[in-house]
Amino acid sequence: MQSPGGPDEDPRNGFSHGGWAMSFFDDAANQVIGETIAGEFDMLLGRRTYEIFASYWPYQGDDPIAKAFNKAEKYVVTRSLSQLDWENSHKIGGDVVDEIRQLKASDGPVLHIWGSGELLQTLIANNLVDEYHLWVFPIILGEGKRLFENGLPPRSLSLVATRSTPRGVLLNTYQPAGPLL
C-alpha cells in the first residue's frame, strides 16, 4: 500500500517502487472512483496522507476527484501540524478514538479514509471501520508498508461486493462480520 501514486510519494525505508498502482488505472477503475466520490462525504486523513493530498489536489482545477476532495470536510489526525491550509480541513489531535467516534455518531455524511495506513490500524483496533474497500492489484512488490500490520485483533469480514477491471484489479467491498470464525 506504500506510495501507490508516485515515485516520491513515500520513499521511507528505501522503498523504490513508488507509482506502482498507476499503470493499473483504466476506465473501470476510474468509474469506481467516480462512484465513490459521487455522493457527499467527509474525509479522515492521517498527517502524511494529508500532506500528500494537500500539496496536489487543490491545484488540479476541474478534475472531478479534485473537486470532490476540495469540497469535502477533511479531518486530519496529527500531533505535529499546527496549521492546515487546505480548505475545509480540521485537526484531530486529542483523544483520536473518542473524536472519531463522535464524528461517526454525528449527522454528517459518510466518512472516507484514504491511504493513512497508520491511522487505519487505530481504527481497526477500536472497531471503527464499517466497511472496507480493498483493491487487490496483480503484482507482488516484495517490500513496503503492509495494510494490516501485526498486532491487530483477528477479524472476520463478509464480502458485500466484488468487481474486476480489464487490467486484473479486484475491487472488493467487505463489512466486519465479528470475531475470527
Return averaged pLDDT per consecutive 10 residues of the chain, 181 residues in all: 59 66 83 91 95 95 95 96 96 94 94 90 94 91 78 92 94 92 65
Q: Which fold has domain 12-179?
A: Dihydrofolate Reductase, subunit A (3.40.430)
What's the pTM? 0.87
Q: Cell digits for 111?
A: 466518512
- Cα 15 to Cα 146: distance, rounded to the nearest angstrom: 12
- Cα 71 to Cα 140: distance, rounded to the nearest angstrom: 35
Q: In this predicted structure, what is the pLDDT of residue 95?
A: 94
Give Cα separations from 109 to 2, 43, 103, 158, 178 (angstroms): 28, 10, 10, 23, 25
Q: In this predicted structure, what is the pLDDT of residue 143?
A: 75
Under 8 Å between Cβ of 56 and 114:
no
Q: In this predicted structure, what is the pLDDT of residue 147?
A: 79
Under 8 Å between Cβ of 3 and 9:
yes
Q: In this predicted structure, what is the pLDDT of residue 24?
A: 81
DSSP label of 39: S
Burial class (CB in 10 A: 0-12, 13-18, 19+), 150: exposed
- Could you state, in order of their start, the residue ranges of all structural domains in the chain? 12-179
Q: Around Cβ 177, how many Cβ atoms within 10 Å?
A: 12
Q: Cell digits for 136?
A: 487487490
Q: How many residues does the chain have?
A: 181
- Cα 119 to Cα 137: distance, rounded to the nearest angstrom: 22
Q: In this predicted structure, what is the pLDDT of residue 30?
A: 87
- Cα 97 to Cα 120: distance, rounded to the nearest angstrom: 11
Residue type, 129: V
